[in-house]
Chain A
């Protein structure tokens, strides 16, 4: 015996239910799929390939582009600190206590003349003052006035060797408690290193750089996001590659999965 046909309205209701279930399953399935892709190294490398495209296009179009500078009236009442606001450890505390008289900046790596600078020596160099907007990867922006020496000036003094391609910044702030290899570091290519607005800043809004903003010296790489602007500098290394540093991605946050190219 065949089953009696269900009334039409019931068939329709069942069809609707089935459709709804299919939509929910598809939505749930695609979300789970996205999570699976996010944890698959090969798939992530495909997503990551867009970074190469973005970098090439932005580099080609914007090699000489200048970051926007603002009038003094636009300076934010307080420059928002982020990341480390007080480097842990006795070494930094001691430097802070003596007003950074014992602090030194080392410039070395692929250079003809490795150099060491005191803060006073850097402050005596020709300086650039710029009011720029700091764009955090999280999405917020803050405008501040920075004063410092152009990195290109310091590099010229040290004379990079012809095979030099990158500048690696080594910092004093340890990021992970108990892991003394987790010192913050960053890297940029020579285009950014030699850019007119790339400075080693010792002053923020007319005051000596506050501890929370990177005292005594931080880099400003104005055409990239905030995490590319290392604070608490101790050493600037000229290098041919950065794969041998940290976990090989060119910076502390890059090693956590963030893009090396932070022009977007």
Chain B
């Protein structure tokens, strides 16, 4: 028998959190895939109100080398060869495609802007509704104050927490019952900074919403800046998900997965 089977099983995640978590998983995957599909229709980012060569900060395209094309990504004035992934990649049937993000990363997989938009806006509504429910739930059940906002004492331990995470040392026993301070900061900044930024920048791209009230999009730096920030926010979210999934795996995949499905979590000894 392994010692883990002796340690107590606690009820860690309540049903509403579990449901909202998995709705989020579906929404994030679809919004990312359909978002990359939409980006592919004009694979460049700018800073300012409109799109000009002079204000372009990122572009994914192709460079002609002799008779064939090479996929490249230009950031500022620097060009990187990203062939095989960005700019040129293989489709599901193995054919070479000149497109910014590859077929396996977009929804739908073919270049199909109209369909990508249908996916994006349907799941955007679902995502926002789910997010509003989550925030209301965390506030009114005390989950926010009790579990998510770190105490002053926990904040003081932030340096040690960073070192522990880097060494892949995770809390055990009683200390593992609470989210650690880095977890708190990650969750809070995603919920209250990154996701609202993505949503507000999404609104900033709407030609109707930019008139409510007129001129507010200038606060984001203009419509094309809003589009860029929407993209940056999306990649901060992707970075969060990567770290999150990594931590879920290294701290016990089966135990963590079970806690997000049935709610039961075994405290690591």
Contacts from A to B (Cβ < 8 Å): 19, 30-31, 34-35, 38, 44, 46-51, 53-54, 58, 61-62, 65-70, 74, 76-77, 80, 133, 135-143, 222-225, 253, 256-259, 262-264
**Count of interface residues, chain B, beta-carbon cutoff 8 Å:** 45
Nearest B-chain residue to A34, judged by Cβ: B107
- Is B49's CB under 8 angstroms from A264's CB? no
- Is A263's CB under 8 angstroms from B214's CB? no
The one of B104, B115, B122 in contact with A46, judged by C-beta atoms closer than 8 angstroms, is B122
- Is A135's CB under 8 angstroms from B223's CB? yes
Given contact pairs A35-B110, A65-B211, A76-B52, a sample of 14 additional A-B residue pairs in the complex whose CB atoms are under 8 Å apart: A19-B253, A34-B33, A50-B124, A51-B121, A54-B121, A66-B214, A68-B211, A137-B113, A222-B207, A223-B207, A224-B208, A259-B114, A259-B117, A264-B209
> How distant is B35 from chain A, measured CB to nearest CB, in Å?
11
The one of B110, B213, B227 in contact with A139, judged by C-beta atoms closer than 8 angstroms, is B227
- Is A258's CB under 8 angstroms from B207's CB? no
> How distant is A192 from chain B, measured CB to nearest CB, in Å?
10
In the assembled complex, the Cα of A220 lies from the Cα of B240 at a distance in Å of 42
In the assembled complex, the Cα of A140 lies from the Cα of B46 at a distance in Å of 9
Known: A65-B212, A68-B214, A141-B50. A133 touches B223 (CB 8 A): yes
**Chain B neighbourhood of A31, CB < 8 A:** 33, 104, 107, 109
> How distant is A169 from chain B, measured CB to nearest CB, in Å?
18
Contacts from B to A (Cβ < 8 Å): 29-30, 33, 38-39, 41-42, 44, 46, 49-52, 104, 107-110, 112-115, 117-119, 121-122, 124-125, 205-215, 217, 223-224, 227, 253
In the assembled complex, the Cα of A47 lies from the Cα of B116 at a distance in Å of 10
In the assembled complex, the Cα of A257 lies from the Cα of B117 at a distance in Å of 10
**Chain B neighbourhood of A69, CB < 8 A:** 214
- Is B107's CB under 8 angstroms from A263's CB? no
9 shortest A-B CB distances, which residue pairs?
A263-B208, A65-B211, A257-B114, A139-B42, A140-B51, A50-B122, A138-B42, A138-B41, A47-B118
- Is A38's CB under 8 angstroms from B108's CB? yes
Nearest B-chain residue to A143, judged by Cβ: B50
